[in-house]
Structure 1
Amino acid sequence: MAEKGLTAARAGVLWALFHDGPMTQRALATRLGVTPRNVTGLLDALQEDGLVVREPHPTDRRATLVSLTDEGRSVTSALRGGRDELAALLFADVPPDQLGTFTATLVQVTERLRAASAHGHE
């Protein structure tokens, strides 16, 4: 991410748009768990870099629709490829039963972190 000039927060915006498609700024803020103001700052930087575009929503004139540009899709695809290569390197020799246990534990811990965050235990 660093070589692409992306912070974790900016990469999170790209991932959300890559996986869920175009969405309003409000929906994006909700998806990322940040304030709409925070999303505006992230989008300003990503738009300046040519990775996202903001356009009027086709059916809601009060909303702005955010989507990836071709360059944004290309960058996100490259990040995904790098992530997949790293995962293959890290887990190549891990037996399937251990990987299954690790994955189940990671899901459980992630759910607990989300629950704690939702209840103000940040």
Structure 2
Amino acid sequence: MDNSDHLHGSIVVNIFRCSNLLERIGRKLASEVGLTSVHQWFILSALSNGDLSLKQLGKNTLVTKQNMTGMIERLKQGQFVTTYEAHDDRRMTLVSLTEKGKQALTHLDRFGITNNEASFEHIKLDELTSFNRCLQQLIENMNKE
């Protein structure tokens, strides 16, 4: 095993560790507004820029269609989202934030910013920018497989 293999392995382990911490923090914040999972928060965030189809939501959040359907149903039951048929293609289901969903997202964003400030406190902007590009490339590479 050479140094790059060791570094790659260390990065993967640290990403998993970070993911576990983010999940724990996110689950606590999500439960404060009545969401049952961090994935539901991801869906609300994806809808913050406008209505999306189930297919687009799955692609944006990397969630399978089967799981997406169940999550949307639970969000509908909680009155966070609503669904409707696309006007130009009735086979396509579109998802929209409700007022309750928008309020939940506003609450989550406000508390998320506070947590993010503490998490990124000693990291410079250029380091964060580079790190974000690396994560995006890693996701793209892994998504090809």
Name the TM-score class by shorter chain. 0.7 to 0.9
1:33 and 2:62 correspond: yes
Q: Percent identity?
A: 23
1:14 and 2:39 correspond: no
Shift >4 Å, 4+ stretches: none
1:85 and 2:110 correspond: no
- Compare 78-87 and 100-109 and name the one that shifted more: 100-109
Opposite residue 13 of structure 1, the aligned amino acid is: I
Structure with the higher helix share, 1 or 2: 2
Mapped partners of 1:31, 1:70: distance in 2 = 22
Residue 124 of structure 2: SS of its match in structure 1?
Answer: helix
Query: How far does residue 41 in structure 1 lie from its aligned partner after superposition?
Result: 0.9
Query: How far does residue 109 in structure 1 lie from its aligned partner after superposition?
Result: 2.7
User: Relative to 1, partners in 2 of residues 1:9 and 1:101: Cα closer, same or farther, differing over 3 Å?
Assistant: same
Q: Indicate which of 130, 137, 141 corresponds to 1:105.
A: 130
TM-score normalised by L of structure 1: 0.81
Query: How far does residue 88 in structure 1 lie from its aligned partner after superposition?
Result: 3.3
Mapped partners of 2:120, 2:133: distance in 1 = 19
Query: How far does residue 90 in structure 1 lie from its aligned partner after superposition?
Result: 4.2
Note the aligned Cα RMSD (angstroms): 1.8
Q: Report Cα offsets for 1:72-111 as digits up to 9, x if no partner.
A: 000001101111122334456x4xxx51233123213312
Mapped partners of 1:26, 1:81: distance in 2 = 28
- Compare 26-35 and 68-77 and name the one that shifted more: 26-35
Q: Report Cα offsets for 1:45-88 as digits up to 9, x if no partner.
A: 10010000001112211111100000000000110111112233
Unpaired runs of at least 5, structure 2: 1-29
1:117 and 2:119 correspond: no
Mapped partners of 2:78, 2:92: distance in 1 = 22
